[in-house]
Structure 1
Amino acid sequence: VEDDTLTVKFVLEVRPDGDYESQPLGNAAEVPEPTLSRDTQALLEHGRLSDVQFSVQGELIHAHSQVLCSRSEVFEKQLTVGMQESVSKVIVIEDCDVVTFKAFLQFLYTDSLPDVKELVAETSSMDGSPPLSQMQALLAVSHKYQVTRLQRWCEWKLCQQLSTSEVCGLLCQAHLLQAKQLENACLSYMRDHMSQVLKLPAYAELIKKWPQIGMKVSLFTAGVSETEAAEAMGALAGPDSLLALATK
């Protein structure tokens, strides 16, 4: 201090961002990995506190109405608005095999997409059905119960497996389920392989049984826009025609 004045000298060092060493905390807490998906799957597998049963191919599967209703509006109506299932708490499944239905329930509980290889292996070992049919069955059940994310995933998987021998059956299913992604993929495949498709007995049978599908193929091959094609299809048949055809 001189003449009542304090003089301080210092050096200021500015270090670049991130140029420092972090010091580990001796008592840092470790946060466990999330377990919700695993826990809900265990709930399904063990059937704890279940209040609904599915009867599938002679096997009873225990489930929980709260989960079902929160994941599917169809289940919500079945279980809450005075339908038979809301009283008996037993839902009989007659249009789906037990392995595929379990994969469907697993998705409802965990939001995890099924292991395709495992699904195909399990179902094929039971009834000898071809691999593609398992994915088609899963598409059908996801459409029936209006589980959109699973349906779109099934469509995506089926689009990857298009072939000349399978395209007619897949197009028919896509048409009936109004699965637009799969339908457009099938139509594109047919347009690009038309010389082969026209020779198929399955194609002749398809357009004979489902005239609307034949119309869709013709319009798509001709390059008609989706809007114009929809107008043409509307002119071809009334609004209730699809339902009438589907019930034949």
Structure 2
Amino acid sequence: MPATKTASTCTVDDVQGSHVFSIFRYSKHRGAGLGKFIMSGVFSVGGYDWAIRFYPDGFDAHYKDYIAVYLELLSKDAKVHASCDLRLVDQSTGLSSSMDMTAPRVFNQNNLSRFAPQNATFKIRSEFEASAYLLDDHLAIECVVTVMKETRVSETRSSPKVDVPLSDITTHLGKLLKSKETADITFNVRGETFAAHRIILAMRSPVFKAELYGPIGETGTEFIHIKEMQPDVFKALLHFIYTDSLDIIDDLEGNDHSEMIRHLLVAADRYAMERLKLLCQSILCENLDVQNVATTLALADQHHCSILKDACIECISSLNIDDVVATQGYVDLRKTGPSILLDALVEMRSYKT
């Protein structure tokens, strides 16, 4: 059974508010002393009271070259999950720019965490006084406070179950081949004709692609002769191209089935269809015996099937060599490919040592 999938969501309700603290005659507030501050009016966000502190001469001697700005939580004994963004307003444009942002955290009114930020380096005083944030002895501090309220978690829900059928694209392609609908090319194989579709052949075989669409291909040809191949082999090859299956030869038995696989391996090599070639090798490897191993070894060597070739050599090493020598396949191989036998004998030594 498929795994059950469920889901839930978590969201946070928040309340946001902003307060602008305008300070006129800034120069008159200078010189009040280190640690001296001006406090804004009290404002409320999320049901809690807050205020802005401005230190024109700096928080202490370590930060005497900075102006300092703080947000302070005033509500008695309150603990608030909140964030804040302290900004300065450009007096020439009216737009504000963030100077210090405090990520969401807990503000506790009973300790120093009631202040944000936790440093006194809001802005270097000389830079501030030379900027557009101070104009006509006037500055404005904007503070945006966001209070996180309730956390809401949804009920767990199951994902809808949709039964998706297996892919049926090969079924449709098989029907397309059988119906010959929109076919744009015909092959003649020893007098028997087969209709097909150029684009599908080119998609599945680089050799077909070169022959049908390449610079020296037969692009304008609608009728092509296939030489050195039996009609039933070409039919099985087309079926595999369209369906990725060899079920068309399931009704063949014994030697007839093995012989068809051999011919299909040759066709797969001819048209550079590597998956079909590997599939044929796999089937032949599973059906090696004393009668066919020599013939299969010759086939594997001729069509560069290293996996099948190794399997043949291993099979021969496990058999009675006199039985293999007595087969017609061995006699033919000895005539046409003595070097293959020599290589096989060398390889067989490694299996027996």
- What secondary structure sits across from 1:86 in the alignment? coil
**What corresponds to 2:279 in structure 1?**
153
Task: Go from structure 1 to structure 2 and tell me whether the alpha carbon gap of 1:207 and 1:61 turns closer, same or farther (over 3 Å shift).
Answer: same
Aligned to 1:7: none
Q: Deviations over 1:169-196 (max 9, x none)?
A: 1111111001111111111111111232
* Offset of residue 115 of structure 1: 4.8
Equivalent in the alignment of 2:90: none
Aligned to 2:244: 111
- 1:168 is aligned, of 294, 297, 300, to 294
Structure 1 unmatched runs, 5+? 1-19, 225-248
CA distance in 2, matches of 1:105, 1:82: 24
- Superposed counterparts of 1:194-233, under 5 Å: 194-223=321-350
Greater per-residue helix proportion:
1
Distance 1:143 1:56 in 2: 18
TM-superposition CA deviations, 1:62-98 (whole Å, max 9, x none): 1111111111100011011243632323221222222
2:236–2:249 Cα contact (<8 Å) kept: no
Residues 22/77 of structure 1: CA separation in 2 closer, same or farther (3 Å cut): closer
Partners of 2:210 and 2:217 within 8 A in 1: no
- Displacement of 1:220 in angstroms is 0.8
Contact 2:239–2:248 (8 Å) recurs in 1: no
Shift in Å, 1:32: 5.0
Which ranges of structure 2 fall in alignment gaps of 5 or more residues? Answer: 1-155
Structural mapping, 1:135-146, within 5 Å = 135-146=261-272
What does 1:81-100 correspond to in 2, within 5 Å? Answer: 81-83=214-216, 85-100=218-233
Structure (1 or 2) with the larger CA radius of gyration: 2
List aligned pairs for 1:1-248, cutoff 5 A.
31-83=164-216, 85-118=218-251, 120=252, 130-193=256-319, 194-223=321-350
Deviations 1:76-123 (A, max 9, x none): 1101124363232322122222222222112111223435422x26xx
The answer on whether the counterparts of 2:205 and 2:273 sit within 8 Å (CA) in structure 1 is yes
Name 2:35's counterpart in structure 1. Answer: none
RMSD: 2.7
> What is the alpha-carbon distance in structure 1 between the residues aligned to residue 329 and residue 202 of structure 2?
40
Q: Is the 8 A contact 1:168 1:202 kept in 2?
A: yes
Larger strand proportion of the pair: 2
**Closer, same or farther: CA 21–190 of 1 in aligned 2, 3 Å:** same
Q: Larger deviation: 189-198 or 150-159? A: 189-198
SS of 2:247's equivalent in the other structure is: coil
The percentage of aligned residue pairs carrying the same residue is: 27
